[in-house]
Amino acid sequence: MNISIHDEQAVKKLLEENWEKAFRYNQIENAVYKNFIDDFEQMNTLSKKTRDILKQNCFFTSMEIDSEVTSENWQTTKILWKTKDGFFIESVIMRHLTWRVTLCVSCQAGCPMGCSFCATWKLWLQKNLEFHEIIEQIYHAAKKINSEWNKLRNIVYMWMGEPMLNYDNVKASIDFAASQKKFDLSNRRITVSTCWIIPGIKKFTADFSQVGLAISLHAPNDEIRKKIMPVDHTYPLKDLMKALDEYVAKTNKRIFYEYIMINWVNDNLKQAHELGKLLQWKLAHVNFIPYNPWEGTNSDWFLPTPRFIIEKFQKILQHYGVVSTIRTTMWDDIDAACWQLANKKK
């Protein structure tokens, strides 16, 4: 079995080579993505011959679930996957109180970016995930949420890995997820987060006018960013802002700027004014993220910024007309909060 059931062109070619009618793929598509049937024998709309062809040549998942744990309040589920070549990745389902459900997916095993506040850095880059490995995460979550009488509404490429360094597979998975006959997700409900890989942002701007873009900013100047995010040595702030201005000019979409609050590192009120000046008059929304201490990070001396300082930071941004939100951390009890992902089992 060497064909992923999610590889539409390969499955269609397989059916054609076996003299199957073209409509057979539509039946498969409906069974898998609308009825969440992941057993070929249960696809009763298909002939026995077709089912046998699929069983002999196709697979639903190349990965196995090593563990799956849900938080005490049931809002968050963390899935630890093992790839066929022995690497581990994670994805997280978030059930919001509004009944909206978001999935954070991984696009790489490990991550090459080396951000000092992130637990995943210690894994380094182990592999780029294949297109079907990303889709397998989405399919599992969509099926699970469907069994809970709800629907997966949002996908965020914000977990393990840098999406812009696995661009082709990420792009293919976005197109797949947004297909009406697959998961039928609106492009507006998909967000890609990047550490500001500028060539990737330019490709993204050309390919996706409706998909959301989030930038891991975390500092208002190059000096601080270089200390906590090595990527700044390659892509300085002025070049990033130019690329983002081009994105906004084409899409007219607001950009989300992620800003992790680390005490005595990037939370000085002077830096709040710098951030306000940087983003003033731009289509920007800042997400302040409380730092989540974890023993896997590169700097164990990092501490979370007190809430009252974050609120002062936020008020300063308001002075510059920059909209911001203080993100609530609701899943750190299962080590699934931002930048805690490092294959740690509960």
Q: Which residues are catalytic?
A: 90, 338
Q: What is the DSSP string of 134-179?
A: HHHHHHHHHHHHHHTT----EEEE-SSS-GGGGHHHHHHHHHHHH-
Question: Whole-angstrom Cα distance, residue 283 to residue 280?
Answer: 9
Inter-CA distances, 203 with 105, 127, 169, 183, 194, Å: 20, 21, 13, 24, 13
Q: Of all helices (H) and strands (E), which one includes residue 318?
A: helix 307-319
Residue 304 DSSP code:
B
| Neighbouring-strand partners of residue 56 | none
Task: Mark out the alpha helices in 179-306 (DSSP H runs).
Answer: 198-207, 222-228, 237-251, 269-279
- 94 backbone dihedrals φ, ψ, rounded to 5°: -120, 120
